[in-house]
């Protein structure tokens, strides 16, 4: 993690499908050498349910409740379970890097390695955070954040979604955790207690995101950067051709 200089892209506000597409675009930029290893922090501008690449929408989402509550359903390119994301209540960051930067570390252990800086940042805020394999940042009261990965052509996309605040009673109503499968396809989300950051800090969601950004910049050789017009244009094209299409979102339904 420390032997290469990083680009750091500060919080950007985009619709859910656009965030999914930006992950693919930026991973490809790092693969091609157009960018060095890169970290990006997201802002959410709409309520979204983000399902894993290998999940069925019908199995994971109560679509009637989702529509009633104004949630968009989107599918990311990485695996893992469904995440509930909301404006001003959720923080997500992505890391795009060569696999050589986690060489000698097992796939399982790489999650903790790539999230260790965030755990340290939370500890510095007074949050009693630690790591639980394979992919959760936790407190003594439950899950704070969950990570997922995709690996392509010798490179890693690692992204982590953090609950700053959450209606914990809405979660089981809208995500079909523990309910019977409707189709015999896809990975199911695990049932885990959630403990949002707001239980432990009075800082706002934006303030926590700023602290995370500052911690990363102080921890690793890095420079602040931004998205280029070519990158956002490529992402918009991917939204239209892939991430907003029923063929992608409902491909395991």
- Do 149 and 79 meet the contact criterion of CB atoms below 8 Å apart? yes
Q: Which residues of the chain have pLDDT under 50?
A: none
φ, ψ of residue 79 in degrees (nearest 5): -85, -155
pLDDT at 180: 73
Domains of the chain with CATH codes: 6-249 (3.30.930.10)
pLDDT attached to residue 190? 66
Q: What is the pLDDT of residue 187?
A: 66
Q: What's the confidence (pLDDT) of residue 34? A: 96
Report the pLDDT value the prediction gives residue 188, as an integer from 0 to 100: 53
Q: Over the stretch 80-108, which tens digit does the pLDDT of each residue have?
A: 889 999 999 999 999 999 999 999 999 99
Q: What pTM was computed for the model?
A: 0.93
pLDDT of residue 186: 59
């Amino acid at each position: 993690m420390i032997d290469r200089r990083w680009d750091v892209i500060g919080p950007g506000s985009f619709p859910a499908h656009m965030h999914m597409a930006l992950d693919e675009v930026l991973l490809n930029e790092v693969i091609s050498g157009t960018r060095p290893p890169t970290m990006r922090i997201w802002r959410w501008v709409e309520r979204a349910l983000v399902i894993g690449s290998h999940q069925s929408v019908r199995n994971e989402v109560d679509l009637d409740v989702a529509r009633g509550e104004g949630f968009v359903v989107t599918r990311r390119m990485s695996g893992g379970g469904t995440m509930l994301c909301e404006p001003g209540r959720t923080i997500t960051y992505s890391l795009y890097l060569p696999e050589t930067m986690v060489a000698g570390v097992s796939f399982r252990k790489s999650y903790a390695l790539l999230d260790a800086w965030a755990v340290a940042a939370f500890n510095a805020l007074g949050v009693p955070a630690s790591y639980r394999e394979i992919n959760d940042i936790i407190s003594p009261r439950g899950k704070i954040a969950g990570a997922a990965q995709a690996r392509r052509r010798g490179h890693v996309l690692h992204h982590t979604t953090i609950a700053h605040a959450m209606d914990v009673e809405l979660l089981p109503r809208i995500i079909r955790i523990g309910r019977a499968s409707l189709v015999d396809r896809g990975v199911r989300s695990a049932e885990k207690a959630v403990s949002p950051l707001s239980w432990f800090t009075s800082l706002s969601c934006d303030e926590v995101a700023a602290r995370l950004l500052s911690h990363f910049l102080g921890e690793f050789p890095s420079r602040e950067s931004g998205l280029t017009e070519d990158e956002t244009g490529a992402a918009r094209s991917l939204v239209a051709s892939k991430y907003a299409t029923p063929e992608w979102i409902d491909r395991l339904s």
